[in-house]
Amino acid sequence: MAWNLDYWKPLNENIMVKLEFLKKIAFLILCVSVLIGCKSKSENGVNLSEINKSEMGLKDYYSDCFIMGVAVAPNSIKGKSAELIKKEFNSITPENVMKMGPIHPEKNSFYWKDADAIAEFAKANDLKMRGHALVWHQQTGGWIFNDETGGEVSKEELLIRMKTHIDSVVSRYKGTIYAWDVVNEAISDDSTEFLRNSEWYDIAGEDFIVKAFEYAREANPDAKLYYNDYNAVNPEKRDRIYKLLKMLVEKNVPIDGVGIQGHWSIFGPTEEELRKALDMYSSLGLDIQITELDVSIYPWEKENRELKPGESDEFTPELEQKQIEAYDMFFRVFRDYKDVLTSVTFWNVTDQYSWLDTYPVAGRKNYPLLFDEDFNRKKAYEKIVEFSIQTETKFPK
Ligand code: GLA
């Protein structure tokens, strides 16, 4: 019997239409379930994107921008703090132990133990390391300026001692330290003066700056050499720092960059001041690093003073919001300048300890960092990494 194809045709078409319809429904169900799957909780109840976020650290969010560093002490490279540092940062700076007083306490003796431990920590964990600081007017140990009878040394003798210091310290950490703060804070706090009237300046004049850079370059030709200072974004001081840097560049002094310390607050600097300073310093062809960032919740004060009666040190929601906004603005500008800004280093790890808890007011707690007293990420942290989460998701390197 021959099949009457014409008879079957309508039925056939009907089935085909139905099958197409079912296929479309199945495809839709598949799409919806895939979409829901990305946003839904994984088996252990954690959002998938949350897993990526918790695996990432500041160094990962900012891997296309600049190095993310932190100042450390022998205590902070242990335990919970060490874990946080390894997860969040890719660079460290010793807070105190490489300053002249601690590392070279007497003319003929060095104390390497703490500095070595920090250098070992950097090497073992593949972290970059900044050296801080070769020549500064504070924490010098004092001996460097005095002869055996207690009198002031000659300029020649001071430069010989300075050379010995720089040679010894820079050579020891060759291969580990990629950048040195060679001269720290040489500009005067008095706006009517140029250079600070320190013992360095008093004995050796401005040659102490030039020689420090020359000795550092000789000791390690591969290290990047920086001049480092505070209030470097404040227009008045900025202009004097710029003048010094310009002089050094024009004299072919071996300087590679400028360190803007970044001890700032929720009250300043302004975005305009920050951009202007970055424009001016980079116009000299110098690399820029933010070397000591913290954002105080109090206005800037230079002189030490006692806590005033009734003075509060509570981290209120209003102060927290202002700090989020300040951090947001600073990092937005930093990202805009990523071609000339090569590193941002925070001064201390978490709000559990900051040098600002005792300076300028002893006993007044400050909350200047991105991690709270329990080592948790603050809202300011979430704010400054938002740009990266929105644009792309990267996994830790
Ligand atoms: C200056 C120095 C740092 C440190 C801070 C305060 O910024 O450069 O080494 O002493 O003061 O902690």
What's the gap in Å between 138 CA and the centre of ligand 1? 9
- Closest ligand 1 atom to residue 139 Cα is 10
For residue 206, tell me if it sits in a domain.
yes
CA neighbours closer than 13 Å in the CB half-sphere of residue 307: 12
340 within some domain: yes
Is 182 a domain residue? Answer: yes
Asked whether residue 154 is domain-assigned, the answer is yes
The total number of structural domains that make up the chain: 1
The CA 72 to ligand 1 mean position distance, Å, reads 12
| Alpha carbon nearest to ligand 1 atom 3, residue | 95
Atom of ligand 1 nearest to the CA of 228: 8
Q: Which atom of ligand 1 is nearest to the CA of 96?
A: 9
How many angstroms does the Cα of residue 199 sit away from the middle of ligand 1? 18
Query: What's the gap in Å between 187 CA and the centre of ligand 1?
Result: 15
Q: Is 174 domain-assigned?
A: yes
**Do 210 and 248 form a contact (C-beta atoms < 8 A)?**
yes
Probe ligand 1: pick from 300, 347, 354, 356, max atoms within 8 Å of CB? 347
**What's the CATH number where 181 sits?**
3.20.20.80
Instruction: Write out the residue range of the structural domain in which residue 387 sits.
Output: 53-298+311-391
DSSP string, 86-151: HHH-SEEEESSTTSHHHH--BTTB---HHHHHHHHHHHHTT-EEEEEEEE-SSS--SGGGB-TTSS
Q: What is the dihedral of CA 229, 304, 296, 322, to 10 degrees?
A: -130
Residue ID of nearest Cα to ligand 1 atom 8: 184
Closest C-alpha residue for ligand 1 atom 2: 184
**Which residue's C-alpha comes closest to atom 12 of ligand 1?**
355
SS3 content of the chain, % helix, strand, coil (to 5): 45, 15, 35
Residue indicated by tokens 């010995």: 164
pLDDT of residue 393: 42
Q: What pLDDT was estimated at residue 54?
A: 74
292 catalytically annotated:
yes
Pocket of ligand 1 (CB under 6 A): 132-133, 184, 230, 261, 292, 355
Cα angle value 117/95/116 (rounded, 5°) = 15
Catalytic residue among 292, 303, 314, 325: 292
Position 165, amino acid: H
pLDDT score for 388 = 77
303 catalytic? Reply is no
Assigned domain for 257 exists = yes
Whole-model pTM: value is 0.86
As a whole number of angstroms, the distance between CA 395 and CA 56 comes to: 6
- pLDDT tens over the chain, length 397 residues: 333 333 334 444 455 545 555 555 544 443 333 333 323 333 344 454 655 777 899 999 999 999 999 999 999 999 999 999 999 999 999 999 999 999 999 999 999 999 999 999 999 999 999 999 999 999 998 899 999 898 999 999 999 999 999 999 999 999 999 999 999 999 999 999 999 999 999 999 999 999 999 999 999 999 999 999 999 999 999 999 999 999 999 999 999 999 999 999 999 999 999 999 999 999 999 999 999 999 999 999 999 999 999 999 999 999 999 999 999 999 999 999 999 999 999 999 999 999 999 999 999 999 999 999 999 999 999 999 998 765 544 443 3
d(CA 72, CA 98): 11
CA dihedral 59, 63, 67, 68 (to 10 degrees): -20
Q: Which atom of ligand 1 is nearest to the CA of 347?
A: 12
**Residue 267 Cα to ligand 1 middle (Å):** 20
Phi-psi region of 220 (alpha: psi -120 to 50; beta: other; left: phi over 0): beta
Q: Which of 185, 199, 306, 314 is catalytic?
A: 185
Under 8 Å between Cβ of 348 and 358: no
Best of 292, 302, 349 to mutate for ligand 1, by most ligand atoms within 8 A of CB?
A: 292
In a domain, 4, yes or no: no
Q: Which atom, in ligand 1's list, is nearest to the CA of 181?
A: 8
Domain-located, residue 90: yes
Q: How far apart are CA 330 and CA 263, in angstroms?
A: 12
